[in-house]
């Protein structure tokens, strides 16, 4: 493979391109606690066998909680900056469906640098179910896509997924730690080649490879 593009050493600051960016530390502790509570609520609602009275009480409480949040909404596209221990910065959308810190629908997946790639651990409960007791294949693809995109972005290259291949090697169980790794394997012009794995108990349950394409940024 011809490698004629060296990834830029630093990810560009999204503020220079008109994006709103908040620092991870600016997310109020109360919002983080609320997000965690809503994740528990979603799990409880998905699995409840409570009777009509309890269900109506819960619905009314949820309606009250929704009203309490008022009409103030963060803009779509707002980004969050995570500062690594080495002082470098990584960016993602604050409501990213896989990793967004303010999104109760995100597991969330947190990825940290590990050697020349990324690694993270996540536990997916029953709301991520596809076949009985197993993670939905679409969510497996979503975890891999996020890890693959993050690996390319961690290498300093803002890019989007152009092609994603997923090999489902073994069923991926719910409610157990899943270990995810991802790394850049090459680059060619605007294409960045990445690969990722999901493991449970050391065994690979799914592998993903992707072609990410570097976004042409003005200037």
Ligand X SMILES: CCCCCCCCCCCCCCCC(=O)SCCNC(=O)CCNC(=O)[C@H](O)C(C)(C)COP(=O)(O)OP(=O)(O)OC[C@H]1O[C@@H](n2cnc3c(N)ncnc32)[C@H](O)[C@@H]1OP(=O)(O)O
Residues 186, 150 contacting (CB under 8 angstroms): no
- What is the token pair recorded at 184? 């850049």
Taking alpha carbons only, the member of 98, 105, 79 closest to residue 90 is 79
Q: State how far the Cα of 206 lies from the Cα of 172, in Å rounded to an integer.
A: 8
Q: Which of 3, 6, 8, 17 binds ligand X (CB under 6 A)?
A: 17
Examine residue 158 and tell whether it contacts ligand X (CB under 6 A): yes
For ligand X, the nearest residue by Cβ is 149
Residues 196, 164 contacting (CB under 8 angstroms): no
Piece in contact with ligand X (CB under 6 A), picked from 119-127, 131-139, 185-193, 194-202: 185-193
Q: State how far the Cα of 196 lies from the Cα of 8, in Å rounded to an integer.
A: 21
What minimum distance in Å lies between the beta carbon of 145 and ligand X? 5
User: Which of 12, 171 has the CB closer to ligand X?
Assistant: 12
Taking alpha carbons only, the member of 158, 17, 187 closest to residue 89 is 158
Q: Which of 149, 166, 194, 198 binds ligand X (CB under 6 A)?
A: 149
* Helices assigned H by DSSP within the chain: 29-47, 52-68, 137-154
Q: Which of 126, 186, 189, 201 binds ligand X (CB under 6 A)?
A: 189
- The SS3 call for residue 214 is strand
CA 142 to chain centre: 8
Piece in contact with ligand X (CB under 6 A), picked from 58-66, 125-133, 157-165, 179-187: 157-165
User: Which of 85, 216 has the CB closer to ligand X?
Assistant: 216
Examine residue 160 and tell whether it contacts ligand X (CB under 6 A): yes
User: Which of 41, 207 has the CB closer to ligand X?
Assistant: 207
Q: Which residues bind ligand X (CB under 6 A)?
A: 12, 14, 17, 91-92, 145-146, 149-150, 153, 158, 160-163, 189-191, 211, 213, 217
């Amino acid at each position: 493979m011809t490698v004629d593009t060296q990834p830029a050493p630093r990810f560009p600051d999204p503020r220079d391109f008109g994006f709103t960016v908040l620092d991870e530390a600016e997310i109020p502790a109360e919002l983080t606690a609320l997000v965690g509570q809503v994740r528990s609520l979603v799990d409880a609602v998905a699995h409840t066998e409570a009777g009509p009275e309890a269900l109506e009480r819960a619905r009314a409480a949820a309606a009250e909680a929704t009203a309490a949040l008022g009409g103030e909404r963060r803009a779509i596209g707002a980004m969050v900056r995570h500062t690594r221990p080495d002082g470098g910065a990584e960016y993602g959308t604050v409501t990213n469906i896989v990793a967004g810190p303010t999104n109760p629908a995100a597991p969330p997946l947190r990825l940290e640098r590990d050697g020349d790639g990324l690694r993270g651990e996540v536990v997916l409960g029953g709301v991520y179910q596809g076949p009985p007791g197993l993670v939905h294949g679409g969510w497996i693809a979503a975890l891999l896509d996020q890890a693959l995109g993050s690996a390319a972005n961690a290498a300093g290259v803002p890019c989007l997924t152009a092609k994603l291949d997923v090999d489902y090697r073994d069923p991926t169980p719910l409610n157990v730690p899943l270990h995810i790794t991802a790394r850049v394997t090459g680059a060619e012009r605007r294409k960045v080649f990445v690969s990722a794995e999901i493991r449970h108990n050391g065994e690979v349950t799914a592998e993903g490879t992707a072609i990410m394409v570097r976004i042409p940024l003005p200037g």
